[in-house]
């Protein structure tokens, strides 16, 4: 076996976004694309000689090939040990758990998460730090800088490794250890939650559906829910991970998980429904006849997390991304713990979790997690809900209704405009930015703007800053509209408009969110000029 040093030149656009580098699968498969990026990671965080890394992905098209390439590059760069999930599979939260449990020097996760997969879909890669979380911007910036000056990469000329059997082999000097992708993660869940109580819930006839969307959570959910907690066979739907997610869009929201929504709103609906995304870090929660918005889910979980054994001592604080509704802040105030507001993307929660300032974190995009790992964790959120349902004996609808009665309801919706012309989308945001100073006092659609800014963040732990994180328009105490462009897409642009309105009156908690938000929606449209600038009458996706 021989180390080959291959001459290369920089490739444009290898800039990590909200969550790692994402690109069309075909782009990732171009000669040198993956290799340049991987060598840039090794150079930027390295040298990786003598180090141990975790490696795995969500099983999408190109996952297996990419893993073989990365293993050979790691060996050529002198890595001591590579820990790989069997068949190249590791969900994002499981990868985080493995990095932390084995105390490795970080890991590489292959996924484009909620983006469709397949040869015509998307692929992605990100580096996670030894604490288990996504690399902070200082590191992704260094990786990007390296991609712009790279001149060569190293790769071992060797046959492929068999990833279907657990155990250790060698690739040159590097030990490659293939592990069960579920075991370490399942152990962690067992320590956090009352599995006996949840087993009792299922034994009492409680019915659940978990839609794995043919993505990576299938094996995890099957092993834990059906295997260990006694949920009947068939509880987990679409449980086999497929390279193209069976042609679906593995994004757990009411639009892309429509079949599950249908079942949960039917006459004989099960008690509880959930879904996860491509790489297993997102969750959708739905009760019988009731959809729980991710922002509400975060608030409900923060308010009830002490019911799970792993959190019996209570929480130190709550953190949410800026566009996430302010429901969680009210719970934090009620509990007398701090609430943090961070930019979009899990990488911004890492320092707060490490410093013990926040215990639970969440994003409106169906991401919830805690200090147990450093990623959001779809199945964790589902198990926490199950633990709470088992302890309280209440239904999802009752828990949500009680929560609103106590804390008020934040009507919430996100409107996504997808596949936009990049220049038009950027123009819309720029125009809003240019008007920020003059917006306060403006009346629009019967609402008065009381404050407007471009969200900037200074990390309270390490002092790092992030600017330009989304335009916030506040309408008094109750309503808010936020505008930002997606940083996970691979083509064109996606505009996200986040809309919310607080309603304290329990008599008015039963409205349809789109109706309850109609005035804020009209105001947001008028302020940003969505129709005129983008030529769109309606969003592509409403969550």
Q: Which residues here bind ligand VG1, judged by CB under 6 A?
A: 18-19, 113-114, 277, 281-282, 321, 344-346, 363, 365, 367, 486-488, 496
Query: Shortest gap between Cβ of 178 and Co ion (angstroms)?
Result: 23
Residues 11-30 that bind Co ion (CB under 5 A): none
Asked if 488 touches Co ion (CB under 5 A), the answer is no
Distance between CA 276 and CA 273 in Å, rounded?
11
Alpha helices in 193-238 (DSSP H): 195-203, 217-221
Question: 35 vs 277, which CB is nearer to ligand VG1?
Answer: 277
Alpha helices in 305-408 (DSSP H): 327-335, 350-354, 378-392, 396-407
511 sits in the region (left: phi over 0; alpha: psi -120 to 50; else beta) called beta
Q: Is 125 exposed, middle or buried (0-12, 13-18, 19+ CB in 10 A)?
A: buried
Provide CB contacts within 8 A for 153, sequence distance 6+: 5, 6, 8, 32, 35, 36, 38, 39, 73
Span of 31-39, 106-114, 340-348, 461-469 interacting with Co ion by CB under 5 A: 106-114
Span of 43-51, 110-118, 323-331, 332-340 interacting with Co ion by CB under 5 A: 110-118
Structure tokens at 240: 């086999």
Distance between CA 91 and CA 71 in Å, rounded?
18
Q: Comparing C-alpha atoms, which of 526, 527, 505 is closest to residue 516?
A: 505
Question: 180 vs 454, which CB is nearer to ligand VG1?
Answer: 454
Angle between helices 92-102 and 183-192 (to 10 degrees): 90
Asked if 277 touches Co ion (CB under 5 A), the answer is yes
State how far the alpha carbon of 271 is from the alpha carbons of 157, 326, 367, 395, 398, in Å: 54, 27, 22, 7, 12
Residues 165-184 that bind Co ion (CB under 5 A): none
Question: 18 vs 113, which CB is nearer to Co ion?
Answer: 113
Question: 114 vs 154, which CB is nearer to ligand VG1?
Answer: 114
Distance between CA 108 and CA 116 in Å, rounded?
20
Out of ligand VG1, Co ion, none, what residue 496 binds, judged by CB under 5 to 8 A for its kind, is: ligand VG1
Out of Co ion, ligand VG1, none, what residue 469 binds, judged by CB under 5 to 8 A for its kind, is: none
Query: Shortest gap between Cβ of 287 and ligand VG1 (angstroms)?
Result: 23
Question: 256 vs 346, which CB is nearer to ligand VG1?
Answer: 346
Question: 139 vs 444, which CB is nearer to ligand VG1?
Answer: 139
Out of ligand VG1, Co ion, none, what residue 487 binds, judged by CB under 5 to 8 A for its kind, is: ligand VG1
Out of ligand VG1, Co ion, none, what residue 345 binds, judged by CB under 5 to 8 A for its kind, is: ligand VG1
Structure tokens at 322: 């800026």
Query: Which among 19, 96, 111, 113 is annotated as catalytic?
Result: 113
Find the binder of Co ion among 36, 113, 253, 324 (CB under 5 A): 113
Q: Are 108 and 46 in contact (CB under 8 A)?
A: no
Is the torsion defined by CA of 122, 125, 131, 136 positive or negative? negative
Out of ligand VG1, Co ion, none, what residue 35 binds, judged by CB under 5 to 8 A for its kind, is: none
DSSP annotation of 487: S
Query: Shortest gap between Cβ of 19 and ligand VG1 (angstroms)?
Result: 4
Distance between CA 240 and CA 498 in Å, rounded?
33
Query: Shortest gap between Cβ of 101 and Co ion (angstroms)?
Result: 21
234 sits in the region (left: phi over 0; alpha: psi -120 to 50; else beta) called left
Is position 395 annotated as part of the catalytic site? no
Query: Shortest gap between Cβ of 494 and Co ion (angstroms)?
Result: 15
Question: 75 vs 428, which CB is nearer to ligand VG1?
Answer: 428
Structure tokens at 376: 């959001």
Q: Comparing C-alpha atoms, which of 391, 378, 373, 379 is closest to residue 305?
A: 391
DSSP annotation of 229: T
Query: Shortest gap between Cβ of 325 and Co ion (angstroms)?
Result: 20
Question: 108 vs 201, which CB is nearer to ligand VG1?
Answer: 108
Out of ligand VG1, Co ion, none, what residue 310 binds, judged by CB under 5 to 8 A for its kind, is: none
Alpha helices in 46-173 (DSSP H): 63-76, 92-102, 137-147
225-264 footprint of Co ion as x/- string (CB under 5 A): ----------------------------------------
Query: Shortest gap between Cβ of 462 and ligand VG1 (angstroms)?
Result: 20
Out of ligand VG1, Co ion, none, what residue 174 binds, judged by CB under 5 to 8 A for its kind, is: none
Query: Shortest gap between Cβ of 31 and Co ion (angstroms)?
Result: 28
Asked if 279 touches Co ion (CB under 5 A), the answer is yes
Question: 113 vs 140, which CB is nearer to ligand VG1?
Answer: 113
Asked if 281 touches Co ion (CB under 5 A), the answer is yes
Provide CB contacts within 8 A for 246, sequence distance 6+: 214, 238
Query: Shortest gap between Cβ of 110 and ligand VG1 (angstroms)?
Result: 12
Active site residues: 113
Residues in contact with Co ion by the rule CB under 5 A: 113, 277, 279, 281-282
């Amino acid at each position: 076996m021989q180390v080959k040093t291959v001459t290369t030149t920089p490739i444009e656009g290898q800039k990590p976004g909200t969550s790692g580098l994402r690109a069309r699968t075909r782009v990732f498969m171009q000669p040198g694309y993956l290799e340049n990026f991987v060598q840039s990671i090794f150079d930027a965080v390295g040298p990786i000689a003598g180090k141990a890394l975790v490696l795995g992905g969500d099983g999408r098209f190109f996952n297996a090939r990419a893993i073989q390439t990365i293993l050979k590059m790691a060996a050529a760069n002198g890595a001591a040990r590579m820990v790989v999930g069997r068949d190249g599979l590791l969900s994002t939260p499981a990868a985080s758990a493995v990095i932390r449990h084995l105390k490795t020097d970080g890991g590489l996760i292959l996924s484009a998460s909620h983006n469709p997969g397949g040869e015509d879909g998307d692929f992605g890669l990100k580096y996670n730090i030894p604490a288990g979380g996504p690399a902070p911007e200082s590191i992704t910036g260094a990786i990007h800088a390296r991609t712009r000056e790279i001149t060569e990469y190293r790769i071992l000329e060797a046959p492929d490794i068999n990833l279907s059997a657990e155990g250790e082999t060698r690739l040159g000097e590097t030990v490659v250890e293939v592990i069960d992708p579920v075991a370490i993660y399942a152990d962690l869940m067992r320590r956090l939650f009352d599995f006996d109580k949840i087993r009792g819930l299922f034994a009492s006839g409680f019915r659940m559906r978990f839609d794995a969307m043919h993505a990576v959570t299938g094996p995890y959910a099957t092993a834990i829910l059906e295997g260990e907690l006694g949920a009947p066979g068939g509880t987990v739907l679409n449980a086999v991970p497929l390279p193209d997610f069976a042609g679906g869009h593995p994004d757990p929201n009411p639009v892309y998980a429509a079949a599950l929504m249908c079942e949960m709103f039917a006459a004989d609906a099960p008690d509880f429904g959930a879904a996860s995304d491509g790489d297993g870090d997102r969750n959708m929660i739905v009760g019988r006849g009731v959809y729980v918005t991710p922002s509400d889910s975060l608030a409900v979980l923060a308010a009830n997390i002490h019911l799970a054994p792993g959190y019996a001592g209570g929480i130190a604080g709550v953190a949410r991304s800026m566009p996430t509704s302010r429901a969680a802040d009210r719970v934090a105030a009620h509990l007398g713990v701090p609430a943090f507001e961070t930019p979009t993307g899990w990488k911004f929660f890492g320092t707060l979790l490490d410093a013990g300032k926040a215990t639970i974190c969440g994003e409106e995009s169906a991401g919830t997690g805690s200090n147990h790992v450093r990623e959001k964790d779809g199945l964790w959120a589902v198990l926490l809900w199950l633990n709470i349902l088992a302890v309280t004996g209440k239904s999802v609808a009752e828990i949500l209704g009680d929560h609103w009665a106590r804390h008020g309801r934040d009507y919430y919706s996100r409107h996504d405009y997808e596949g936009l012309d990049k220049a038009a989308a950027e123009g819309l945001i720029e125009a809003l930015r240019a008007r920020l100073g003059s917006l306060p006092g403006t009346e629009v659609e019967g609402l008065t703007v009381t404050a407007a800014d471009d969200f900037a963040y200074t990390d309270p732990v390490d002092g790092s800053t992030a600017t330009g994180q989304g335009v916030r328009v506040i309408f008094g105490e109750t309503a808010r509209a936020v505008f930002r462009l997606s940083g996970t897409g691979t083509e064109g642009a996606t505009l996200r408009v986040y809309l919310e309105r607080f309603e304290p009156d329990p008599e008015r908690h039963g409205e349809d969110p789109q109706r309850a938000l109609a005035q804020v929606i009209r105001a947001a449209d008028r302020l940003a000029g969505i129709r005129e600038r983008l030529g769109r009458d309606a969003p592509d996706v409403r969550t």
